[in-house]
Copies of this chain bind each other. A is one copy, B any other.
Amino acid sequence: MATVLIVDDEPDIRDVIRFTLEESGFRVLEASHADEARRLLPEQPDILLLDWMLPGRSGLELARQLKQNPKTRSIPIIMISARGEEDDRIKGLDTGADDYITKPFSPREMVARVNAVLRRSRAEEVSAQIEIGGLIIDNVSHRVSAGDRAIDIAPTEYRLLHFFMTHADRAFSRSQLLDQVWGNHVYVEERTVDVHVRRLRKALEATGHEHLLQTVRGVGYRFSDK
């Protein structure tokens, strides 16, 4: 089951939240301030419930910090704020918070939101380097490799592959691929996608990974190691 880290300076609030979440089967960690929260990060919480109004605006700081660090960026954050602090709420979303709850909130609402955010974020998992079926793409060095062999690839093929690998196990139509990889403003023939798929496959043949790029007849293409 998922672990939730509550960061709030009021013990009463923490208690209420802890009770509700534990009843719903979550594991709960508590911190009363930002520093304590940071110390608890090694416990690998799946989600943070973060009170906006921590002393010294440290809630905002913490959120910003977590979202800037690649290692913690993927931890979703739900902000808790008092009703009416609208400006803060907006900043919270801008900072990268994934959702927020206004006090006072009902237990049911909170659980519903925690679940919703977890469901969303689970699939996301962004990282610079992605590995699927032994094939590795690294968006920092802009390089594709398998084992210790580098694969030479043209720009468009690279973008296509990168899109596929960040959206694996999904079937895409040609027009979706054009929108996503070429940009939805340009107009090119749908069949062009076929050609680039073929070129990409050819490039992947060098290491025997062409089977990862699959044709879904009547629909489009899919990237998957299954």
Q: Is the CB of B112 within 8 A of A94?
A: yes
Chain A residue total in the interface (Cβ 8 A): 39
Interface residues of A in 157-181 (CB under 8 A from B): 167, 169-171
Residue in contact with A109 in the complex, picked from B89, B99, B120, B167, CB distance below 8 Å: B89
Interface residues of A in 51-96 (CB under 8 A from B): 86, 89-90, 93-94
Interface string of A106-136 (1 = CB under 8 A from B): 1011001100100010011111000000000
Q: Is the CB of B141 within 8 A of A222?
A: yes
A112 to chain B, nearest CB (A): 5
A140 contacts the other chain (Cβ, under 8 Å)? yes
A151 to chain B, nearest CB (A): 12
A21 to chain B, nearest CB (A): 16
A195 contacts the other chain (Cβ, under 8 Å)? no
**What are the residues of chain B within 8 A of A206 when measuring CB–CB?**
none
Stretch of A11-19, A35-43, A186-194, A211-219 on the interface side: A211-219
A98 contacts the other chain (Cβ, under 8 Å)? yes
Q: How far is the CA of A167 from the CA of B127 in the complex (A)?
A: 12
A155 contacts the other chain (Cβ, under 8 Å)? yes
Q: Is the CB of A126 within 8 A of B123?
A: yes
**What are the residues of chain B within 8 A of A143 when measuring CB–CB?**
169, 171, 222, 224, 226
Who on chain B is nearest to A172 by CB? Answer: B142
Q: How far is the CA of A142 from the CA of B214 in the complex (A)?
A: 11
Given contacts A90-B112, A93-B112, A142-B222, contact A155 B217 (CB under 8 A): yes
Residue in contact with A86 in the complex, picked from B106, B167, B222, CB distance below 8 Å: B106
